[in-house]
Amino acid sequence: MATAIEVDQAREAVDFVQLSTYRAGFRVVLVDPADGLNLAAANALLKVLEEPPLNTVFVLVSDQPRRLLPTIRSRCTRIDIGLPPADQSAQWLAGQGVDDAMDLLALSGGTPLDAQRWAEGAELDERRGVLEGLADPGRLDPVTLGERWKTVNPQIWHNVAYKWLGDLLSVRLQGSVQFNRDFAEVLVRLGGKADLAGLLALARTQANEGRTLAHPLNRALQLEAWLIQYRHLFD
């Protein structure tokens, strides 16, 4: 899973590109995932992105470009890379020894490398624990769950909650479950009765949270407020 890129790392990149290149060759700086840049790190890169040194190319990789600061996006040329066909990705994952390839591809938005990372990490258990709590909003206790989930990696929480809300919106708007196929039955039931305006507002909040994942907020209180808002979607 993606982790935050800190300001010290961004400053190291800026210092690096000020050095002379070997035999006047090209220099490439890869920022992956670019949406992992926290606010201070993104601001540290702004000047050098606008006026990069000679023969220097910055490559920012992101599957969620809207999480990047507008000032970062405005200094870059966007190149969209398409995903391989699902059957081809599933075949490749099966060759890597990954079970439930199609479900993991759905969870990863069709990205095979992310699906492989899910399969190889311990995050699937954390994800299931979070989704089992969100699946029963009527019995949800924001204080208890906020305290329990404060130890969940903020990036994992963000990804899991954002895709859960995306599925609820898809169902609510007469669509189908896109990401969490193993919870499809629950999502269809909840999405049909969720308040649309509240759901849209919470999804926007969750999208914006991606820029502050590394901020030293009181995590338990932050989650408690989110869960209260989530529970009200089904009143």
Contact 211, 68 (CB under 8 A): no
Closest residue by Cα to residue 148 from 223, 232, 205: 223
**pLDDT > 90? residue 122:** no
Mean pLDDT to the nearest integer, 78-87: 90
| 82 compared with 142, residue with greater pLDDT | 142
**pLDDT > 60? residue 148:** yes
At position 203, the amino acid (one-letter code) is A
Contact 89, 83 (CB under 8 A): yes
**What's the topology of domain 7-73?**
Rossmann fold (3.40.50)
- Residue 147, C-beta contacts closer than 8 angstroms, at least 6 positions apart: 220
At position 212, the amino acid (one-letter code) is T
Q: Which three-class secondary structure state does DSSP give residue 114?
A: helix
| pLDDT score at 1 | 43
**pLDDT > 60? residue 140:** yes
Q: CA–CA separation, 201 vs 65, rounded Å?
A: 20
Helices then strands, counting H and E runs in the chain, come out as 12, 2
| 96 compared with 2, residue with greater pLDDT | 96
Range with the poorest average pLDDT among 35-44, 142-151, 214-223: 214-223
Mean pLDDT to the nearest integer, 203-209: 86
Backbone Cα Rg of the chain: 20
Mean pLDDT to the nearest integer, 63-72: 86
Mean pLDDT to the nearest integer, 33-60: 90
Among 80-84, 166-170, 209-213, top mean pLDDT goes to 166-170
Pairing mode, if any, of strands 27-31 and 56-60? parallel
Model confidence, pTM: 0.69
φ, ψ of residue 31 in degrees (nearest 5): -115, 105
Q: CA–CA separation, 136 vs 226, rounded Å?
A: 15
